[in-house]
Structure formats: C-alpha cells, structure tokens
Chains A and B, each alone.
Chain A
Amino acid sequence: MTWETVIGLEVHTQLSTCSKIFSGASTAYGAEPNTQADAVSIALPGVLPVLNKGAVERAIRFGLAIGAHIAPRSVFARKNYFYPDLPKGYQISQFDLPVVGMGALKIQVEPLSGNAKPYEKTVRITRAHLEEDAGKSVHGAAQGMTGVDLNRAGTPLLEIVSEPDMCSPAEAVAYAKALHTLVRWIGISDGNMQEGSFRCDVNVSVRRKGEPLGTRREIKNLNSFKFMQQAIDYEVQWQIDTIESGGKIQQATVLFNPDTGETRAMRSKEDAHDYRYFPDPDLLPLAITPEMMVEVRSAMPELPEARRMRYIEQYGLTSYDASALTSSREMADYFDSCVSLAGPANAKLAANWIIGEVSAQLNRDNLDIAQCPVSPQQLHGMLIRIADNTISNSGAKEVFRTLWSEGGDADAIIEAKGLKQVSDSSAIELLVDGILADNADKVAEYRSGKEKLFGFFVGLAMKASKGKANPTQLNEILQKKLAG
C-alpha cells in the first residue's frame, strides 16, 4: 500500500523593527527581564495600542516578494485565551481580513535519500498576517511559582501560512529554508532561529493514494531545519503505523523531543481552540494607500529567485551553483562584487571558489560571509592570476590560505612565495628530457604497455619543478616524449 504525506507550514517570523508593534518599547534581544515591558506591554488598564509603520511596511515587502495581493484594508482582531504571559487576556492578531493574501514561493528541492534528482516546485502561501508576540514564562523561577518576563510581549510577528502543498520532509525543509532566506533577503527579519525569530509549526497528515485528506497533527515550535526533518519523519511513520494497526488519528498538537527523536501529543485542554475572535475596537482598520505601496515597492531589492535565474542565464552557472550563491543576500552580493571586478568570463571560476574554498573556510571558522577575512577585491586578485595561468590550482590554494590568515594581495604573495608556474615549454621540455634519461628502465616499461606509469612521471616532473610546472603543458609534453 502506498502512502502519501501532506504537509503545510505556519511560520512565525519576528519582524526587525526597533520598537514593538503597538508601543514604543524596545525589541532588543537579551535585556534584563521586564526592562523593555512598558505600560502597553504589561497591559495596564486604559492604555491603547498604536500601530508601528515599520511593521506594516515589512508585511507589504513580504507580500510583494511572494507576488501576493496586499489588502488595501485589513483588520486587527482579538484572539482570546488566558495565560500568564498574555496579560491582556487576548493577543492582537488578524483573522478574516489579513494584510497579505494568496501568494507563492518557488523552491529547489534536494531529495534526502536515494539517487533522486533535485527538482523545482511552487508552494502556495495562503496568507500572512501581523500579530503581537506573547511574553515568556520562566518555570521554576521560585518555589511553586512561575516567573513572567514581558520583554517579548508586543514584539511584531508576521505569521506566514502555506497551503498543504508539500508532500515530503525534503519539500517542507526546502520551503522553510527558502522562506528563511527570503525574509532575511528582503530585510524584514534577522531570521535568528536560536533567538526564536523564525519558528515553524508543521501540519502533517497521511492518506492512502487517491483517498481524501487524512486527519492532521500539528508539530509545534520547531526551531531548526534538522529537527523539522526528524520530526516529520517520525510523525509520518507514527501515523502510518497507527492506521495500519487499525487505529485512528486524532487531531492534536504535538511537541518534538530532540533527545528521543519522537513526537508526543500535548495534553489537550478543554475549550483550547475556542478563541472567540472579534475585531479589536481599540484599533481602526489598517488602510494601505497606493503611495505607501509605491514607496515600499521602490525600495525592493532584486529577489533571490530572480538573481538565481540571472546567474544561470547570464553566466551559465548550474542550477545547484546558482542556488548556493543565492542562499543569502550577502553571499550573492559577494559573488556579484567578484564578478564585477574579474569580469563575467570569470564568473564560473568565482562561483567555484566561493562555493568551494571560501565556504569551506567560513564553515571551519564558524564565520558568516559578511565576516569573510578575504574581501572580493582580494579574491579577484587571485582569480585573475588563475585565469591567466600565472598560478596553478595548487598554487592558488596556497595563495588563498595566505590571504585568509595573513591578508595582503595575491600578486605580492605569488612573488614572495615563488608560486608563479612555469609555462615556458622549452623549460618544461628540458626538465622532462632529464627525467626520462634518468629513468630509462621505467620509460621502457611504459612503452611496453604499462601506461599506469604516466602518473609516476608526472609526479617526478612536478617535484623537479617544485610544483610550478603548468600541469596542462606538462601532460602534453610528457605524452609526446613518452610516445617516442
């Protein structure tokens, strides 16, 4: 029996405003408890919310980035529930009239197993709405008591809801990653997952092929892509096992435990989902004027997908390379700087180095591309020396290591370390002649059919030239001379 998985995501992304969505308190992370909780954040009686223009602009920017309809008029609603970190007794959110309507996001899926090929898919985004975050409960703050820190209360969030368009953990992760890249790219969120700026809830159900949708369970609050994949893997298998052994899936909210790799249902509270939404009388409808749209639209950067396509069409990069280079705006800007210095003809070379050595070193030193010790200017200096055959690949690696650890410029390093490769054919021929004369027995063996020995001669010649012989030329000359 074949099973199909159906997945939809709800992502809460924290907007990068400096003040809260309905008050002028700071949103900076990591402050002492309650020092950024003003009268509105702690819900003193009589206070009124005033909407932050920065939050609205960021919501519009997101809507434009996914090609969505931006509602000229949207409405804030109260979502009612009781919890100590929600002092008003309701969260201000949007319900039937959200600011961002239906849009879509194109994703590149890397299948997680087997020999399946990467493919492209479009995921529809149902809506995105503005809302405020709740505070934080600190359990065990004092004997038998719960501590409440309201610094986070009132932080602006954009909740992004997808259609159930994904059908594997790989697709869900690809979508979440593409969304994560996008919100940082357009500068609406720092996307910091450790600090809770990008939190994912995943709705999962399974069905036998061709049957109607199954009952879904919602995995709450995943804050890493690795956990997301593990949680969905486990949840899908659990649902299939449950149904195959005659059980039924109950709609539930579950939590993922990274230590056991299992999902577990939260205790369902009575009336848990009776939020009794109604329009918030403290807030008038949000009108988005054509002027505001023009203003936001004019400040939109080239989007990741457009840039990815440009890299493929303009520079002939592979889809994989173009995706890697557009995984963040800083990375893409770094690449663009290199190409503008080294010229489009060297775009592929630049791409190889940035995706290869540069990324590997960044990973090793746990750095972001923005903190890369080698500037595009410095890398370009090395790239043009590879392109004009001044240095070999191994010489370039040495130059790069030096640039990384000591700085400087490529030409000076090549000079100081004597890395210039020998491309003078008469010099190489002389060197090869010497080696062949010294190893007449091996030459005879080679000529009688032991062609494996070719590598042996290359090794000797490289050693004799101290690694500086142009490898292509050396190969040609060796082949010619060995043929007799």
Chain B
Amino acid sequence: MSLSTADVRKVARLARLAMDDTEIEAARSQLSGIFELIEEMQAVNTQGIEPMSHAQELSQRLREDKVTESDQRELFQGIAPQIESGLYLVPQVIE
C-alpha cells in the first residue's frame, strides 16, 4: 500500500505539523515503507493468538487513592510564557 500526498497532508494537519512540499514527499515515502512492513506482517498467520495491547505481557500497577502532590504552581509557572492570576495564558480560543 502506498500513501498519497493528500493522505500525508491530512495526517500532518491533524498532528499540527507544518511541512513544505519536499518534507511531505520525504514523509510520504518513509511512511509508505512502514505500511509495506505492516503488510508483510499481516501475511503472518495469527489465528488463535490473542491480540496484545502492549509489548510487555504485564498488567497495570495500581496506586492507592491518596493525595501525594503539593502545590508547585510558582515553580511550574516560572517557565510559562505568560500567566495572569494563576492562569496560563494562550492566544484566544474561539468556540
């Protein structure tokens, strides 16, 4: 399976990546290579094998429901470009 330039543009837009035509073409050929690999893998007979959702066959460790974090707003907001009354400021978002 080979990806079209339009597919790559769409994926780039969804991921908020700005790419020029040269980069789009490079990404198209690299991504197509990955899809070829997937196609190869899909030829393997996996009947009767339960799909995994993680590379390791372990399960999630659970945390007790306890508050362990204290307020570090000042520290965290020290690296924020803009703040106001404790809020992080971002360019206006219109709903």
Contact = CB atoms under 8 A, between A and B. Distances in A.
Interface in B47-66: 53-56, 58-66
A228 interface: no
A83 B53 CA distance: 27
Name the residue among B14, B63, B84 with the largest chain A CB count within 10 angstroms. B63
Contact of A51 (B54, B63, B82, B95): B63
A479 B47 CA distance: 90
B54 A281 contact: yes
A55 B14 contact: no
B75 to A, nearest CB: 10
Nearest to B70: A38
11 contacts: A19-B67, A26-B67, A33-B87, A34-B73, A38-B72, A39-B69, A54-B65, A141-B87, A144-B91, A147-B85, A271-B10
Interface in A29-68: 32-39, 42, 44, 50-56
A148 interface: yes
B4 interface: no
A38 B89 contact: no
Interface string A262-286: 0000100001001010010101111
A24 B61 contact: no
A29 B65 CA distance: 17
Contact of A24 (B69, B71, B87): B69
Interface of A: 17-19, 23-26, 32-39, 42, 44, 50-56, 73, 75, 80, 82-84, 97, 137-139, 141-142, 144-150, 266, 271, 274, 276, 279, 281, 283-287
B16 A82 contact: yes
Nearest to B63: A50
Contact of B65 (A17, A137, A284): A17
Name the residue among A34, A35, A56, A83 with the largest chain B CB count within 10 angstroms. A34
B54 A285 contact: yes
Nearest to A286: B60
A17 B63 CA distance: 12
Nearest to A26: B67
A30 to B, nearest CB: 13
B68 interface: yes
Contacts of A283: 54, 60
Given A284-B54, A287-B59, A147 B69 contact: no
A34 B88 contact: yes
A372 B66 CA distance: 32
A33 B84 CA distance: 10
Contacts of B68: 19, 24
B90 A146 contact: yes
A137 B90 CA distance: 10
Contacts, number: 133
Contacts of B90: 84, 145-146, 148
B92 A144 contact: yes
Contacts of A271: 10, 13-14
A19 B92 contact: no
B65 A26 contact: no
Contacts of B63: 19, 24, 50-53
Contacts of A284: 54, 56, 58-61
Nearest to A27: B67
Nearest to B71: A35
B67 A53 contact: no
A36 B71 contact: yes
Contacts of B92: 139, 144-146
Given A35-B71, A42-B76, 12 more contacts: A24-B63, A26-B67, A33-B85, A35-B73, A51-B61, A139-B92, A141-B87, A142-B84, A148-B88, A274-B14, A281-B54, A284-B58
A26 B69 contact: yes
Contacts of A36: 69, 71
Name the residue among B13, B88, B89 with the largest chain A CB count within 10 angstroms. B88
Contact of B67 (A18, A44, A142, A276): A18
Contacts of A34: 73, 76-77, 86-88
B18 interface: no
A279 B76 contact: no
Contacts of A32: 73, 86
Contacts of A51: 60-63
B6 interface: no
A262 to B, nearest CB: 17
Given A24-B68, A146-B91, A52 B54 contact: no
B8 to A, nearest CB: 14
B17 to A, nearest CB: 12
Contact of B86 (A17, A23, A35, A286): A35
Q: Which A-B residue pairs are the 9 nearest by beta carbons? A: A54-B65, A24-B68, A147-B87, A287-B59, A33-B86, A53-B62, A38-B69, A279-B53, A148-B88
B93 interface: yes
A23 B87 contact: no
Contacts of B87: 33-34, 138, 141, 147-149
B92 to A, nearest CB: 5
Nearest to B50: A73
Nearest to A22: B63
B50 to A, nearest CB: 9
Contact of A39 (B16, B67, B76): B76
B61 to A, nearest CB: 7
